[in-house]
Structure formats: C-alpha cells, structure tokens
Structure 1
Amino acid sequence: MSGSPTSQALQARCSLDIPTIDQNNATTISTVHQDIIETNILTRLDGPTLASVSCASTHLHALASQEHLWTNICHSTWPSTTSPRVRHVISNFHNGSRFFFSDAFPLATEPVASRDLSENFDLPSKLISAVDIYYKKELIFSKVVEAETVSAWFKCSPFRVDLLDPKEAVSTRIPHPDKDDTCRDLEEDMELSWILIDPIGKRAMDLSSHRPVTVNRHWLSGEVQVKFASVVGGGVIGAATELVQCEVVVTCGGSTRGEMHVREVSLLMENVDGMYLNGNDSLVILKRALDGKRGKGKKREVERKKEVENFLERKKERKERKSRREGTLDMLCVAFGVLAFASSASFLLLK
C-alpha cells in the first residue's frame, strides 16, 4: 500500500539518490556532473559541434575551450598536425589549437582590402604545408614541408610546392584503374586537405576543395591525375589576377603488384588567363587570403566547387574575348595590308 512504512522509506531513499525535476522549473546542463560532460560528451564531438556547444553558456564555454580537446580534434582532422614542427607552431597561436582549427577549417571568403600585387608589405618568410590524403576514409598520405620565401629564386620562379621528390613514390591500397569504375571511385572516395600555415603571422587556411574537381587517366602511361582546387581573391578587379586558383595535383601511377603509388603531390597558382604565377605574386595573394575573413565552414565543399566552376567560366570568357580581339586585329592587319598593296599598285599604274 502507498501509505505503508516500507513504501514511505523507499520514496525517501529515492528522493535522496535521484534528483527529481520540478515541472515548473527548466533543467540546465549544470545538473549533469562536470566529469561526465568533459569525459563522455565533449570528447566525442567534432570541431564545428564543439564550437557550437561553447556558445551555449558561460559554463560550457569554459569546458569546451580546454586546449587538449582542440588538440585532439586538430590531430584527428589533420593527422599531419601531429608533426613536432606543426605542434610547436600551433602552440604559439593565440588560444592555441582552438584558434588554429577556427582558422583552418572554414573557407577564406574575403581577403583583406585590395592591394596591387606590386605593393610592398610584410610577407611570410616561410610557409608550412601540412597535407593529408584519404581514400575510402583511410589515411594513405600525410606529410609536412616547409618552404622559404625570401630568396630571389623563389620570388622570380613559378610558384610550386612539391611534397615528393621526382623519384619518390608512396604505396597505397588503391587498385590500378583497369576500368573506368576506379576513376569514379577516386572522384567519390579520395579526400585531401592542404593546410597552409604562416608560422610568423600565426595564421592558417585550407587550400583544398576536399573532393576532387577532376580525375583524368592518361591513355598511354595509365597514370591517373587527380586535381583539387580552391579560388582566392587576387589583385585589381578586371585584372588577370582578380581571381586565382590554388591547384593541387595528385598523380598516381601503377606498380608491379597492381596497386597505385602516389608519385606527385604539388601546389600551383593559376590566374584566369591560364598563366601560372611566380613566387612573389603568389605570396602576396596567399598573404591576403591568410589575413582575410573566414566563412562559417558549412557546406564548404559545395561552396568550393561553385567557386571553381565560376573561375573556369571566367577563364573561358576571357579566353573567348581574347580570341575575338586577336581575330579583330588579324582582320585589321589583313585589311591594312590589302589597302597598302592596292595603294602601291595604283601608284605604280598611274606613274
């Protein structure tokens, strides 16, 4: 019976061990023990979700801002950040791994105020590239390279960052593309991140589209070229460098065992005229992109794809305009030549 001593004792014991919720009062996250939040909840979240949680309350902001949480997220998102050199650089960032993630994960949507490429301002003396490639969610390539940017050779030569030496190759589990299905698999299942880091300016950004924009197989050699890309703002509006494409090329070749080897991973900078930029111009554009505002990170692959499509359309339009101008000049030259010939012939006949 409800009024029995046994029943009353049980209710009293339950009221002490299990907190009851008043229907008239709203419950808060503070009712959950802090150790449970830190150990069993926050450690299971990805970066964007953890960032959202940190905005929910002052209490959660303090818990979600702990350095070890963001360090683990950076390492799981980009395994190349476990490199001692990159870890040291990240430790010098304001708010460490948390700021690094917020800088590198979303898109760089707006560069700093437009500057002419010839204008001199503080440029990075070094650039660090942290690159990770996945196939079917399995890490197949991870490497960090550091390039100096102050030599005359770098500034005058075409900008290019190579992660592998010409004779170097990295084995993978990707089957050799004997059929077109393998190329489609690469387009669907290969992912790449290229985090560019300015260790002096303490800024970072991702230059990759994450998914390939094109996958092509050479009909003779059988090598497969997978391209990733992103578009950043360049120079003056209307100029060839108004938009610049950061093009990442991954070349895979077959091996004697029937598996693919990664033989090239490189980064180049291309303007809308189809010309590759030199080191100095590329460095100015990358510096402006590093200092620019970041997007929210949502649907970033879709946004990157649209940006690349827009770049290719602009490139096509400029090429067509250039062809029309050259065609008009050719017609004028021919007309001028005919007129000059007719004038000379008339002069000789009338003489």
Structure 2
Amino acid sequence: MHMACSYEATSPSSSSSTITCSISAVHSDLLETHILTRLDGPTLASAACVSTELYSLITCNQTLWANICHSTWPSTNTPLVSRVISSFDKGPRSFFSDSSTNPDPSAAAASESAADHDPPSELISAVDIYYRNKLMLSKVVETETVSGWYQCSPFRVDLLDPKDTVATRIPYPDTEEACRELAEDFTLSWILIDPIGRRAMNLSSQKAVRVQRHWLSGEVHVWFAWMLSGEEQCGIVITCGGSEGGEMHVREVSLQVEDMDGMHLNGKESLVILRRGLEGKRENKRRRGEEGKRRYEEYLELRRIRKERKLRTEGTLDMLCAASGVFIFTSLALFAFWR
C-alpha cells in the first residue's frame, strides 16, 4: 500500500501545524493483524465503507470473518458448522450477515416462492446461552426433515436429551422481582442453518420476552421469541428447576413454531415458514432485544383479539343453533297439537 501524508504549517513563527494522513499510510499487515482483529462484526462492516483499501482488506479476509463468527457464537467453532460456513457463497462473511440479523416478518410472509422449492433434508441449530454475559451453554443439534415422523409430528428441536441437565450458579428466583431480573440477565442466540441452501437466520429475540415460575412444579420458564410472519412465531423456551443447593439447573431448551391460535405447527408446515424466513429479507436492528419484546407483546394482543372474536362468533352460532332447535321443536309440537 502506498504512503499518503502531508504536513502544513501556518507560518514559520507559529507553533500550530496540521498533519494529515490517509488510511493508506498504515501498512496492510499492521491493519490486518493489530487493528481489524480488534473490531466486532458491525464495526468491521462499517469500516469496509471507509475506503477502497479497507473494503478490499476486510471483504477478502475470510479468516478474519471466521474468527469473528467463532468469537460471537462459540457454537460455530465446531468442525460441522465451520465446514458449512466455509461453503457459503461469500464464506464466513455471508454467514455473519445472515446470523447477526433477524428475518423480516413482513418480507417472510410475502415470500411465497419458498414453498415451491424442495425443502432441505437437514437443519442445523447452533445455540449459545449467556447469563450476565458469561457463556452458560453452547451446543449444535442436527435435525433431519425428510422422514414421515418429522413431517407429521409437531415441530420441536430439543437442545438437551431428556436425562441431561446443565448445572448453573444462578440462584433460584423465589420472588416475582427475581424472575423479572432473569429476563435482563439471560441472552440467547439460536441460529438455524440450511446447509443445502447455504443460508442461516437467527430465531431469537436475544433478550428474554417473558419469565414465569410454574405455581405447582416450581420450574422457571424463560421465553425467547421472534415473529416469522404475520401469523406465526418461533418460540424458544428454557426450562430450569431448582437444586438442593438453591441454584438452578437447566433441564430443557426447545424450539417450536406456533400459529396465532397458539397451536404448534407440524414439521411440514413449519418447514415452509422457516424456509421463507431463510430466503426472505432481514432486519438490521441494533436493539433486537427491545424489538423482539415489543413484537411479542403485539403478537399476544393480536392473539387475544383473535380469541375474543372467535368466542363471539362461536357464541353467535350457538345462539342460532339454539333458536333453530326451539323453532323446530315448537313447529313440531304445534303440528302434533292441531293434527
């Protein structure tokens, strides 16, 4: 890279001076080794827009983006996910772009072309759970999507086997205030990867949208969610139980897709929705946690209105059926009387 520096002095007797240097004055090895490696993904993407030199250095350095993916999501630092990431059209840079943003619900709902494509034969989930910015659980799960059992059963991806638990040092929340604090302390990333189509998307609201303690079992449920379209949402639930030492153990982490009526979709229906999200546009929002919670509350309100409307419709139909029954009974009674 060439040097480009200039020196300006206002006057021979003046002590004030101005030195201007362009980014090209910094050696490329110094940039790649000591400067760019200290930036996070969004900052690195912004830096690529500064100059053509930086754009070339940043976009062509796949090792740099691979390291950023691994540091941002430790679950991607596995042979399986690393191999899939390298197969993306633009390598780790494309994977980071897909996974650092959420699917746009309006765009996913409008994307009908995904239903016409062959569904992927496999989905890979790369999940990372943090508590107070410390990694608590990181795991990769493969899910086949072609069997009849998957197509007809309710769609569900379990991160832990039924007998597995993850010990934590998190105090068991015995008050409602402590449960609300958990919503701020937990952070979750659930990246769903289509290894065949070489696309990925993050299905988590990043921050918890709700925390609730079951009144009977005492289990604590931490919800994360993201709207996949105007009618369906993806829900992630962390189920925790208390231990003898007064700390929580993670017992379940599951992913499901439900419709506006709260019904869980089966594998075939969910695959269409997920495929639309994978191929649709993405939202590039900095405050994804607040946005996810806001949309979750809107979703609950729409579901409440829908349920009330449905109950009113069913009530009207019941009244019509009852009135028809009374009319028929009265008509038959009068017919029998006059006969």
Structure 1-normalised TM-score? 0.87
1:115 aligns with 2:116: no
- After superposing the two structures, state which structure 1 stretch, 217-226 or 243-252, moved more: 217-226
Structure 2 distance, partners of 1:88, 1:22, is: 52
Question: What is residue 206 of structure 2 aligned with on the other side?
Answer: 210
1:22 aligns with 2:8: yes
Is the 1:105–1:297 Cα contact (8 Å) retained in structure 2?
A: no
Structure 2 distance, partners of 1:303, 1:108, is: 12
Question: What is residue 192 of structure 1 aligned with on the other side?
Answer: 188
Structure 1 distance, partners of 2:113, 2:52, is: 44
Paired AA for residue 215 in structure 2:
W
Question: What is residue 160 of structure 1 aligned with on the other side?
Answer: 156
Question: What is residue 247 of structure 1 aligned with on the other side?
Answer: 235
CA positional deviation for 1:307: 2.4
1:77 to 63, 72, 78: 72
- Residue-by-residue CA offset, 1:94-116 (whole Å, 9 max, x unaligned): 22111100011012112275439
Structure 1 distance, partners of 2:62, 2:112, is: 36
Kindly report which structure 2 residues correspond to 1:302-313, keeping only aligned pairs within 5 A, or say none: 302-313=290-301
Q: How many residues align?
A: 324
Unaligned runs of 5+ in 1: 1-18, 234-241
Structure 2 distance, partners of 1:127, 1:309, is: 29
Structure 2 distance, partners of 1:26, 1:311, is: 53
Is the 1:21–1:27 Cα contact (8 Å) retained in structure 2?
A: no
- After superposing the two structures, state which structure 1 stretch, 24-33 or 156-165, moved more: 24-33
1:36 aligns with 2:30: yes
2:51 to 32, 57, 61: 57
Structure 2 distance, partners of 1:220, 1:317, is: 29
CA positional deviation for 1:26: 5.4
2:323 to 325, 328, 335: 335
Paired AA for residue 293 in structure 1:
K
Paired AA for residue 96 in structure 1:
G
Structure 2 distance, partners of 1:63, 1:79, is: 24
Paired AA for residue 179 in structure 2:
C
1:257 aligns with 2:245: yes
Q: Against the structure 1 CA distance between its residues 177 and 279, is the aligned structure 2 distance closer, same or farther, given a 3 Å change threshold?
A: same
User: If you compute each CA radius of gyration, which structure gives the higher value, 1 or 2?
Assistant: 1
Paired AA for residue 59 in structure 1:
E
Structure 2 distance, partners of 1:177, 1:303, is: 26
Q: Aligned-residue CA RMSD in angstroms?
A: 1.9
Q: Percent identity?
A: 58
1:124 aligns with 2:116: no
2:62 to 59, 62, 67: 67
Is the 2:111–2:280 Cα contact (8 Å) retained in structure 1?
A: no
Paired AA for residue 71 in structure 2:
S
Question: What is residue 277 of structure 1 aligned with on the other side?
Answer: 265
- Residue-by-residue CA offset, 1:108-160 (whole Å, 9 max, x unaligned): 1122754399x542111100000010001111111100010000110011100
Paired AA for residue 111 in structure 1:
A
Is the 1:50–1:64 Cα contact (8 Å) retained in structure 2?
A: yes
Structure 1 distance, partners of 2:328, 2:36, is: 82
1:97 aligns with 2:92: yes
